[in-house]
Amino acid sequence: MKSRVSHQSVVRTRLSCERTGGYNVKNGMYCYDWCPFCGHRTDGDDHDTLVIAPE
């Protein structure tokens, strides 16, 4: 039986692309090398990766 976990108690990763205005939020911790929106590398100033941890 799967246990139910509130989305507020899970670490989430948010990737934002300033080139396209797109963003993606996933449960868990992710490292994006390439942007799924514009196709460029994410290590430049046009992309922000934010890891959100519950309090």
Q: Which domain holds residue 28?
A: 10-52
What mean pLDDT, rounded, does the chain reach? 87
Look up the pTM and report it: 0.74
Looking at the domain assignment, is residue 29 inside a domain?
A: yes
Looking at the domain assignment, is residue 16 inside a domain?
A: yes
Closest by CA to 42, choosing from 19, 26, 25, is 19
Task: Please list the ranges in the chain whose pLDDT falls under 50.
Answer: none
Structurally, the chain folds into a number of domains equal to 1
pLDDT in tens, 10-24: 899 999 999 999 999
